[in-house]
Amino acid sequence: MSETKPILTRDFFAEHAKDIEKILRHAVNQALLMHKQLGNPIATWKDGKVVIVPPEEIVILSDVNSSKE
């Protein structure tokens, strides 16, 4: 009863790039929301320097996964 696992290739990632991007954007958005709700700052990169963004300035984008396609 061994199950065959799909082989992940470059073609797989190319074929599923939009789905992968959507999932990653959702994960980042959830992490940003969690930081904001808990009152924790985030670190980001701007003009070649690390910048600390306070929780009240964290921008949460509308979630691309919230719409049913």
Q: Are the C-beta atoms of 41 and 54 separated by less than 8 Å?
A: yes
- DSSP-derived letter for residue 67 is S
Residue-number span of the structural domain to which 48 is assigned? 10-57
66 found inside a domain: no
53 found inside a domain: yes
Q: Number of folded domains in the chain?
A: 1
2 found inside a domain: no
Q: Amino acid letter at 4?
A: T
Which of 34, 32, 35 is closest to 61 using CA atoms? Answer: 32
43 found inside a domain: yes
What tens digit of pLDDT does each residue of 17-67 get? 999 999 999 999 999 999 999 999 999 999 999 999 999 999 998 765 554
In the block, which residue shows the tokens 């009863």? 1
- pLDDT band (50, 70, 90) for residue 8: confident
52 found inside a domain: yes
Measure the CA–CA gap between 18 and 9, rounded to whole angstroms: 16
30 found inside a domain: yes
